[in-house]
Each structure stands twice: as structure tokens, then as C-alpha cells.
């Protein structure tokens, strides 16, 4: 069983981080990475003509594995972009759980 997640930051610290220039820079870099991955996915996944004029349809296992890796990068970027909101949700859930616990 997974251990319960412990958030060391307060809600206000996470909210402040979300507005910080550091987070905005990180978001810009992650969004650029996502855009490059989408372009790469479209390029690798599209049928194309090679130098000798033959139509290449990307259906080899190597190509499919590469496409899967690109999809994985895109999912990771999406997850990372949501980390501050995930932290806030965990803090909110714990706050709600504390309210519901009966006192001894």
C-alpha cells in the first residue's frame, strides 16, 4: 500500500508559487516541450516519401515505440503542469478529512 502523501507546503505557499516568476518560467519551458513533442509526433507518425521516392508508412515496431515515447513525454508534461493544483487538492482533501474525523 502506498504511504499517505505528506505536503510540507501550506496552501498559501503553493498559491504563491503558482503566481511566481519561477513557475511561469517552468510552465513556458514545459509548454515549449509539449509543442515540440506534438510536432515530432506529427512528423514521425505521418506517411512520407523517402529520398528514393518510396512511400514510407510509419508502422514498424521501432516507429510505434518512438510514438509511444513521445506520447509519454506529452503526458508527463501535462502532469507536471498540474502539480501545483494537485498539491492544492491534496491539501483541501486533508482539510476536509480532518473536519470529518470524530474527536475523542
What are the tens digits of pLDDT across the range 24-44? Answer: 999 999 999 999 999 888 887
Asked if pLDDT for residue 54 goes beyond 90, the answer is no
Tally the domains of the chain: 1
Is residue 15 within 8 A of residue 88, CB to CB? The reply is yes
Q: Residue 1's pLDDT is what?
A: 45
Examine residue 100 and state whether it is found in any structural domain, yes or no.
Answer: no
φ/ψ (deg, to 5) at 56: -110, 120
Examine residue 56 and state whether it is found in any structural domain, yes or no.
Answer: yes
Tens-digit pLDDT profile for residues 2-12:
567 789 999 99
Give the pLDDT band of residue 80 (cuts 50, 70, 90). Answer: very high
What is the value of pTM for the model shown?
0.70
CA distance 68 to 46: 14
Is residue 60 within 8 A of residue 68, CB to CB? The reply is no
Examine residue 85 and state whether it is found in any structural domain, yes or no.
Answer: yes
Examine residue 84 and state whether it is found in any structural domain, yes or no.
Answer: yes
* Mean pLDDT across the chain: 87
* Closest residue by Cα to residue 26 from 16, 36, 17: 17
Range of 50's domain? Answer: 20-95
Three-state DSSP class for residue 79: helix
Amino acid at each position: 500500500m502506498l504511504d499517505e502523501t505528506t505536503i510540507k507546503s501550506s496552501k498559501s505557499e503553493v498559491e504563491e508559487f503558482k503566481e511566481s516568476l519561477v513557475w511561469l518560467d517552468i510552465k513556458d519551458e514545459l509548454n515549449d516541450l509539449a509543442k515540440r513533442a506534438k510536432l515530432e509526433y506529427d512528423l514521425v507518425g505521418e506517411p512520407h516519401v523517402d529520398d528514393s521516392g518510396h512511400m514510407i508508412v510509419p508502422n514498424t515496431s521501432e516507429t510505434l515505440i518512438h510514438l509511444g515515447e513521445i506520447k509519454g513525454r506529452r503526458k508527463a508534461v501535462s502532469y507536471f503542469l498540474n502539480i501545483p493544483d494537485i498539491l492544492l487538492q491534496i491539501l483541501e482533501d486533508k482539510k476536509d478529512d480532518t473536519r470529518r474525523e470524530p474527536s475523542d
